[in-house]
């Protein structure tokens, strides 16, 4: 019993210790349950709330369930406008009326600190002073007793802040409150984004619906108006038909006219009056009145009918106008009294035939409520014209029939237009349902070929990279395809033919790959293919060969047969690739290597290609540095008069010795300069050095009278560049006639039609002009006739073969013969041996340049 009693007492003691722990655990679970419920409420809000003005108060209420949140605000930072937008603001002391505040105003405060650092802030009242002194943060607005602020992030980017604070000294926030606020903040951004997107979508739908409703209302109004017009047109058609088909029964014709008028306006009473031949009496061939029986004939007096005859205008006479007419003596007093007694409204219009008034048609009503309007007046005026026309039916029947036919066709056309408009509106409503699907499709496909675009291909390639990293045995390869002659097709046949060409290329490539392989168009004439699940590299090569063979087949564009080709770079997917851009870069490099090797082939990428590309890039960087620091070595080599053994001028050229690459071939760094766009800068550097040498030679009384520099033809493509050269020469105080510009014939072949004005401008300035490397290109004699060159330099390859090549010797003599007639001199370039010099002397070549005459001398 003792042992059992002791055991029972220990269990009771343990139970007392466990009760507080269980209570804490219970509280923790309840709090977790509340947090989960809060997140569920936020998710429900994001799904149900349609605008942000309802979302923020609801979030405020949810957070208020966990802590004192009497003072609460949500702010977002907008970097484009550099403002902080207070989307929601509730505070006991600070009243926020301005929703947007410049960021620089608040970036030094607590909110700005959260936005800048992306970290939360938990500040107690007694810590304010020490915190601001330690961080340099300024307190903006009323100082709270407790401050709790957390960042709002979209991914890793801080986009805003959410803050609760209290001014009540009895309220304290806990670490659990901070954790709740942090946890809630992670889900609020998603909720806000969803509500914003829904709000934008609903606003777009409302705007579009409002537009469609407005269009529909306008169409309904137009339909009603057109129905009125159609009714009028139908009535006029009936009148015209009566006039065209009238056979002799005038009483039936007048009755039909009255019936038609009754349908258009209120016309219970109607009469037609005509003047007799003497013009003194009125005849009434038709008179229909509900109260009186009209006369068949009466003499002219001061009635309403006579008023219309006198004025020649359609007259509208209501009781208000009767007194005016009676006082003016235009209306008989008895007639006026009768009209006022019965409250008549009278409308009459003249009947005009061949420009003369022959009668009147009139309608009238009785009673105060039935009054005619100006619209009725215009209508009767128009109808009276047709009645007058009917009186001359024999003369105008055919014209009226033609008018009726045209009128009927016009009515049908307008009706068809209404039908088409209604059909179009119905189609628009249906098309709206398809717009979202089309937008999604268009965002991932090329608009021309309907192939996947770069975005979709990159996503698919990223998945392939992830698969390769997880399953190394999976085989993938990327084919980068570039088309040949696409620019020529575009320029010669136009963009429409270019588009047809690309569509046909896409079709052909699709036939060369399997159904699960992915073909995409990156843009322009570049296509890419992602191959997967192939057995070996030979399969990839076979696909590449099929594509090249398919593209090499002729294309029929605008009834013309055109040929193209394809250069393909292949990169196999390896585990070390981490992004789609990397493998596309390597496949692109392999494609350029294929182009370099002669197009119409494929090249597999290897790491040496990347190293070579990096080496070329490094060489370009070194060239830029050398040009900036003027590290080139300059040399002078004279052009010599072979008879007088005197120097004509010195040619200046540069050599480049790089610390890392050593001596760089002159042609190679010229190519580097052209590819990097620094050709003009290199030429200007040489020109400045030449001007400095000329100035120094003059001050030192040296023997350098002229210096030649090689100038790129690009200087001559713009008038401003030629002016820049001449201004540079003038600024360095060097006479232009002491400078010689040498232009390469090969460059001239490519741009010959654009540079003649620039060459003439240099010639007028006094610069000596030389055509360099003549014979290395087309060697067109048209250059010798069209351009004012002072000297022609025969290309060194012709001199190199002397004296054994009699053919080249004859060619040099021919150029010399032409030079006598065109007044320029010939310079033999590359005279490197005594035998070459002897051969030139024998044919009496005037000038030469080369090592046999003088070695290049460093400056």
Longest dimension (CA), the chain: 155
Q: Which two tokens stand for residue 787?
A: 């351009």
β-strand partners of 603: 569
Residues 6 or more apart whose CB falls under 8 angstroms from that of 458 comprise 580, 581, 584
CB contact burial 333-349 (16+ within 10 A = b; e otherwise): eebbeebeeeebbbbbb
Q: How far is CA 437 from CA 431, 443, 444, in A?
A: 10, 10, 11
247 phi and psi angles, rounded to 5 deg:
-110, -15
Cα separation, 705 vs 696, in Å, equals 11
Residues 6 or more apart whose CB falls under 8 angstroms from that of 329 comprise 302
Q: What is the DSSP letter of 597?
A: T
Q: Which two tokens stand for residue 725?
A: 């050269």
| Residue at token pair 């610390």 | 659
Q: Which two tokens stand for residue 486?
A: 């696409």
Q: Which two tokens stand for residue 210?
A: 């409002």
> What is the full DSSP assignment across 642-688?
TTTTEEEEEEEEEEEEETTTEEEPHHHHHHHHHHTT-HHHHHHHHHH
Q: Which two tokens stand for residue 422?
A: 């209604």
- 697 CB-side CA count, 13 A: 16
Q: Do 564 and 555 touch, CB atoms closer than 8 A?
A: yes
560 phi and psi angles, rounded to 5 deg:
-120, 140
- Would you call 525 a catalytic residue per the annotation? yes
CB contact burial 360-376 (16+ within 10 A = b; e otherwise): bbbbbbbeeeebbeeeb
SS3 per residue for 252-303:
HHHHHHHHHHHHHCCCCEEEEEEECCCCCEEEEEEEECCCCCCCCEEECCCC
Q: With the CA atoms of 31, 33, 38 and 41 taken in that order, what torsion angle do they form, in degrees rounded to the nearest 10?
A: -160
40 three-class SS: helix
Q: Do 109 and 77 touch, CB atoms closer than 8 A?
A: no
Q: Would you tell me how many other CB atoms lie within 10 Å of the CB of residue 508? A: 17
Q: How far is CA 678 from CA 219, 250, 612, 715, in A?
A: 64, 99, 21, 12
Cα of first residue to Cα of last residue in the chain, in angstroms, is 119
In total, the chain counts a number of residues equal to 859
SS3 per residue for 770-819:
EEEEECCCCCCHHHHHHCCCCEEEECHHHHHCCCCCHHHHHHHHHHHHHH
Given 376, 484, 525, 747, which residue is catalytic? 525
The angle, 0 to 180 degrees and rounded to 10, between the axes of the packed helices 454-470 and 580-596 is 110
Q: How far is CA 334 from CA 273, 340, 445, in A?
A: 20, 10, 88
Closest Cα partner for 708 from 655, 654, 651?
Answer: 651
Q: How far is CA 270 from CA 255, 312, 391, in A?
A: 9, 19, 18
| Residue at token pair 């949500």 | 74
487 membership: H or E segment, kind and range:
helix 486-493
Strands (E), 91-229: 100-102, 121-124, 146-154, 157-166
Cα separation, 686 vs 680, in Å, equals 10
| Long-range own/partner contacts, residues 466-469 (CB < 8 A, 24 or more apart) | 468/573, 468/574, 468/575, 468/577, 469/575
The angle, 0 to 180 degrees and rounded to 10, between the axes of the packed helices 250-264 and 374-391 is 160
Cα separation, 205 vs 222, in Å, equals 25
Residues annotated catalytic, as ranges? 525
């Amino acid at each position: 019993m003792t042992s059992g009693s002791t055991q029972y007492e220990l269990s009771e003691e343990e139970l007392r210790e466990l009760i507080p722990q269980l209570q804490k655990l219970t509280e923790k679970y309840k709090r977790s349950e509340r947090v989960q419920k809060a997140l569920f409420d936020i998710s429900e809000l994001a799904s149900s709330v349609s605008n942000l003005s309802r979302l923020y108060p609801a979030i405020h209420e949810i957070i208020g369930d966990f802590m004192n949140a009497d003072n609460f605000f949500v702010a977002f930072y907008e970097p484009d406008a550099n403002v902080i937008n207070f989307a929601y603001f509730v505070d006991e002391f600070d009243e926020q009326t301005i929703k947007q505040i410049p960021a620089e105003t608040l970036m030094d405060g607590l909110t700005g600190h959260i936005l800048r650092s992306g970290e939360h802030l938990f500040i107690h009242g007694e810590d304010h002073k020490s915190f601001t002194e330690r961080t340099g943060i300024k307190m903006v607005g009323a100082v709270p007793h407790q401050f709790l602020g957390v960042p709002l992030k979209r991914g890793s980017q801080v986009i805003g802040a959410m803050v609760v604070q209290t001014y009540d000294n009895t309220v304290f926030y806990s670490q659990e409150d901070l954790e709740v606020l942090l946890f809630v903040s992670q889900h609020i951004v998603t909720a806000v984004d969803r509500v914003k997107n829904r709000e934008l979508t609903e606003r777009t739908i409302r705007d579009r619906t409002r537009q469609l409703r407005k269009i529909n209302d306008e169409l309904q109004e137009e339909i009603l108006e057109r129905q009125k017009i159609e009714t009028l047109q139908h009535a006029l058609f009936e009148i015209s038909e009566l006039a065209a088909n009238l056979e002799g029964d005038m009483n039936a014709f007048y009755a039909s006219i009255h019936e038609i008028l009754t349908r258009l306006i209120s016309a219970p009473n109607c009469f037609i009056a005509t003047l007799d031949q003497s013009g003194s009496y009125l005849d009434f061939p038709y008179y229909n009145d509900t109260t009186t029986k009209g006369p068949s004939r009466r003499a002219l007096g001061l009635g309403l009918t006579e008023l219309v005859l006198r004025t020649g205008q359609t007259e509208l006479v209501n009781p208000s106008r009767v007194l005016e007419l009676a006082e003016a003596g235009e209306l008989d007093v008895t007639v006026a009294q009768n009209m006022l007694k019965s409250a008549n409204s009278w409308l009459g219009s003249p009947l005009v035939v061949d420009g003369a008034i022959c009668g009147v048609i009139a309608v009238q009503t009785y009673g105060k409520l039935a009054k005619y309007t100006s619209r009725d007046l215009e209508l009767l005026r128009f109808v009276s014209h047709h009645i007058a026309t009917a009186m001359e039916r024999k003369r105008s029947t055919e014209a009226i029939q033609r008018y009726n036919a045209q009128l009927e066709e016009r009515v049908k056309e307008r009706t068809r237009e209404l039908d088409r408009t209604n059909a179009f509106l119905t189609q628009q409503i249906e098309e709206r349902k398809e717009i979202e699907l089309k937008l999604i499709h268009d965002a991932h496909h090329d608009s021309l070929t309907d192939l996947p675009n770069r975005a979709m291909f990159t996503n698919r390639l990223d998945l392939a990279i992830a698969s390769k990293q997880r399953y190394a045995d999976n085989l993938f390869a990327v084919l980068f395809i570039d088309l040949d002659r696409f620019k020529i097709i575009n320029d010669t046949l136009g963009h429409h033919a270019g588009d047809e060409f690309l569509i046909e290329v896409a079709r052909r490539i699709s036939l060369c790959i399997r159904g699960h392989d992915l073909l995409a168009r990156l843009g322009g004439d570049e296509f890419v293919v992602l191959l997967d699940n192939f057995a070996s590299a030979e399969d990839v090569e076979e696909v590449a060969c099929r594509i090249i063979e398919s593209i090499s087949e002729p294309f029929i564009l605008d009834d013309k047969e055109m040929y193209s080709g394809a250069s393909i770079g292949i990169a196999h997917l390896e585990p070390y690739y981490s992004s789609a851009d990397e493998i596309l870069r390597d496949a692109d490099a392999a494609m350029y290597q294929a182009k370099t090797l002669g197009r119409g082939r494929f090249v597999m990428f290897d790491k040496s290609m990347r190293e070579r590309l990096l080496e070329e890039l490094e060489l370009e960087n070194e060239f830029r540095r050398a040009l900036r620091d003027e590290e080139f070595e300059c040399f002078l080599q004279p052009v010599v008069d072979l008879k007088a053994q005197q120097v004509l001028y010195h040619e200046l050229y540069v050599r480049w010795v790089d610390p890392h690459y050593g001596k760089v071939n002159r042609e190679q760094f010229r190519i580097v300069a052209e590819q990097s766009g620094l050709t003009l800068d290199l030429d200007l550097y040489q020109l400045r050095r030449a001007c400095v040498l000329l100035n120094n030679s003059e001050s030192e009384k040296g023997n350098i009278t002229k210096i030649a520099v090689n100038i790129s033809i690009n200087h001559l493509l713009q008038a401003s560049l030629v002016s820049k050269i001449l201004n540079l020469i003038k600024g360095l105080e060097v006479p232009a006639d002491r400078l010689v510009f040498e232009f390469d014939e090969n460059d001239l072949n490519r741009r010959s039609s654009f540079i003649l004005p620039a060459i003439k401008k240099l010639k007028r300035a006094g610069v000596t002009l030389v055509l360099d490397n003549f014979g290395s290109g087309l060697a067109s004699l048209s250059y010798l006739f069209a351009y004012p060159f002072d000297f022609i330099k025969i290309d060194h390859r012709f001199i190199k073969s002397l004296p054994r090549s009699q053919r080249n010797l004859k060619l040099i003599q021919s150029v010399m013969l032409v030079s006598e007639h065109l007044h320029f001199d010939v310079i033999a370039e590359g005279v490197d041996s005594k035998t070459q010099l002897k051969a030139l002397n024998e044919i009496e070549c005037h000038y030469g340049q080369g090592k046999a005459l003088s070695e290049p001398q460093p400056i």
